Amino acid sequence: MASSLPPAVIALQTELSRMPGVGKKSALRMAMHLLKSQRDDVARLARAVIDVKDKVKICSTCGFISDTDPCHICNDRKRPGKVVCVVEQPTDVIALEKGGVFPGKYHVLGGVLAPLEGVGPEDINISGLVARLEPEGIEEIIVATNPTPEGEQTAYYLSRILQPKGINVTRIARGIPVGADLENADDLTLTRALEGRVKLD
């Protein structure tokens, strides 16, 4: 008797709560929402879930997502390929592309090194990056992982294995975000901002 949620609600709650950032409570709220939605809307969501798996391809070269493999960025012959920007996730590529700030090609690691969580070099797409170096004539790797301890560690690891291969490994600058207040920046950001100071002329 006690709890008494219908099994189909519990099943949906379980499936939804597998997703990142979705707890049991918000999964139940979503399930209740779907229960009260029009059948068409529910069917459209179910279709979209299947479609994303069936129609979207992960680029076998760079790891980005696209309708084609290789993706449209790797396929773009007008983009210079000597400088490759390494990011953690496909969404990072989107952020950089939205700004149109980087004209080269990308490599998506699909994560960062996190030894404490058991994520080692073989768990993220580093071998794929190494395999691209020679055939693509890559000269510089810009490591644009997030400025977290794991992101820094991954950058350091990449530098250690790629520099001996004659690759110029650089890291995106850390500093005060444009438009932000100095007084709200944390110590590490301030330290990095000072270290990374540039000469004015």
- Residue type present at position 131: A
Contact 71, 64 (CB under 8 A): yes
Q: Which one among 33, 82, 160, 165 touches a second copy, defined by CB under 8 A?
A: 33
Q: Which one among 24, 44, 82, 160 touches a second copy, defined by CB under 8 A?
A: 44
State in angstroms the smallest separation of the CB of 53 from a second copy.
5
Q: Does 90 bind a second copy (CB under 8 A)?
A: yes
Beta bridge partners, 85, equal: 106, 142
Residues 149 and 22: their CA atoms lie apart, in Å, by: 25
Contact 145, 154 (CB under 8 A): yes
Segment 10 to 29, residues that bind a second copy, using CB under 8 A: 11-12, 14-16, 18-22, 26, 28-29
- C-alpha to C-alpha distances, 68 to 64, 74, 157, 172, nearest whole angstrom: 10, 10, 31, 29
Residues 151 and 56: their CA atoms lie apart, in Å, by: 27
Residues in binding contact with a second copy, number by CB under 8 A: 61
Stretch touching a second copy by CB under 8 A, among 45-53, 132-140, 154-162, 182-190: 45-53
State in angstroms the smallest separation of the CB of 86 from a second copy.
18
Stretch touching a second copy by CB under 8 A, among 30-38, 128-136, 153-161, 181-189: 30-38
Q: Does 66 bind a second copy (CB under 8 A)?
A: yes
Beta bridge partners, 86, equal: 107, 143
Residues 134 and 195: their CA atoms lie apart, in Å, by: 33
State in angstroms the smallest separation of the CB of 127 from a second copy.
18
State in angstroms the smallest separation of the CB of 49 from a second copy.
4
- Residue type present at position 144: A
Q: Does 114 bind a second copy (CB under 8 A)?
A: no
- Residue type present at position 172: I
Contact 45, 34 (CB under 8 A): yes
Tell me whether residue 3 or residue 184 sits nearer to a second copy (CB atom).
Answer: 3
Per the document, the length of the chain is 201
Q: Which residues of this chain interact with a second copy, rule CB under 8 A?
A: 1-9, 11-12, 14-16, 18-22, 26, 28-37, 39, 41-56, 58, 65-67, 72-73, 89-91, 94, 97-98, 100, 110
